Amino acid sequence: MPDKTTTVAELRDALRRFVDERDWQQFHTPKNLAMSIAIETAELMEHFQWLSPAAARDLPEADLQNVREELADIFCYALSFANAMGIDVSDAVREKMIKNAAKYPADRVRGKLGV
């Protein structure tokens, strides 16, 4: 399922089927999913906790695989959260990008941190 050929809807449907097949809907509440996103994000952060910026960009293959799995966990929980809340992810991202573009105009913030 490469990014170039997989839609958000396909991923959401795959996750919905996975959850349904296991009868986990009862546990996939917005609260539990939000907490799971935070927990998995902390697990991702752990892989970078004491690394220099250079080392973080050049992870050994085994560490990169672990990072990839944590990112997948975060993304799966985020899409499951969208399913539980009825949020259209593409619309939400597009709307947020419009807000961010207005808040951080490229000509004013280009190359600046903490603006």
pLDDT of residue 79: 98
83 within 8 A of 42, measured Cβ to Cβ? no
CATH of the domain at 51: 1.10.287.1080
How far is 100 from 48, CA to CA, in rounded Å? Answer: 27
Whether the per-residue pLDDT at 91 is higher than 80: the answer is: yes
Instruction: Find where tokens 């927990």 sit.
Output: 39
pLDDT at 24: 97
Task: Give the pair of three-digit tokens for residue 49.
Answer: 């906790």
Each residue's pLDDT tens digit, 7-39:
999 999 999 999 999 999 999 999 999 999 999
114 part of a folded domain = no
Q: The domain containing residue 98 runs over which residues?
A: 3-109
**For the whole model, what pTM was predicted?**
0.90
Q: Which of 22, 5, 19, 6 is nearest to 82 (CA)?
A: 19
Query: Does residue 14 belong to any structural domain of this protein?
Result: yes
CA-based R_g, the chain, Å? 17
Report residue 113's pLDDT band, with 50, 70 and 90 as the boundaries. confident
3-state secondary structure of 86: coil
- Tally of domains within the chain: 1
DSSP codes, 5-41: G--HHHHHHHHHHHHHHTT-GGG--HHHHHHHHHHHH
Q: Is 115 within the bounds of a domain?
A: no
In angstroms, the CA 21 to CA 27 distance is 13
